[in-house]
């Protein structure tokens, strides 16, 4: 497996956590997510995002409903109780990974770099 493929798998996992996070705040939809993820440096195509949303729905981590918006049907997703649990555990794993890779004071370092800007 090439490095690009390994990184793609890694980032897809990160994107799933990101999706669950936003779905825990408010209903989300594809176009919003593409823009939101792009603001964090993820270049995700609809051909990757929509199957990911469908899989999260199939895995019962997201619920889906449809609304008519400006004459078009838009699919919205909200997090389920199961999705909340996965998100909670995912956040914990991300935090542990960040502490291990970046050191226990990674938040302090990050906060200081933000203040310097």
pLDDT per residue as tens, the chain (117 positions)? 676 667 777 777 889 999 999 999 999 999 999 999 999 888 889 999 999 999 999 999 999 999 999 999 999 999 999 999 999 999 998 888 888 888 877 666 555 554 544
Distances (CA, A) of 66 to 17, 28, 52, 63: 23, 11, 17, 10
Half-sphere exposure of 105 (CA within 13 A, CB side): 4
pTM of the model: 0.79
Task: Supply the pLDDT for residue 102.
Answer: 82
Q: Does domain 3-116 have CATH number 1.10.3720.10?
A: no
Helix, strand, coil in percent for the chain, rounding step 5: 65, 15, 20
Q: Please state, in angstroms and rounded to a whole number, the distance separating the CA atoms of residues 40 and 68.
A: 29
Task: Supply the pLDDT for residue 110.
Answer: 54
């Amino acid at each position: 497996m090439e490095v690009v493929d390994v990184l793609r798998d890694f980032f897809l996992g990160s994107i799933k956590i990101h999706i669950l996070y936003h779905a825990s705040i408010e209903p989300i939809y594809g176009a919003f997510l593409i823009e939101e993820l792009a603001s964090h440096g993820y270049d995700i195509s609809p051909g990757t995002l929509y199957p990911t949303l469908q899989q999260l729905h199939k895995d019962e981590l997201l619920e889906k409903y449809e609304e008519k918006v400006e004459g078009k049907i838009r699919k919205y997703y909200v997090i389920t109780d199961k999705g909340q649990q996965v998100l909670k555990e995912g956040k914990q794993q991300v935090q542990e990974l960040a502490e291990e890779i970046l050191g226990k004071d990674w938040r302090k370092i990050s906060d200081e770099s933000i203040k310097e800007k």
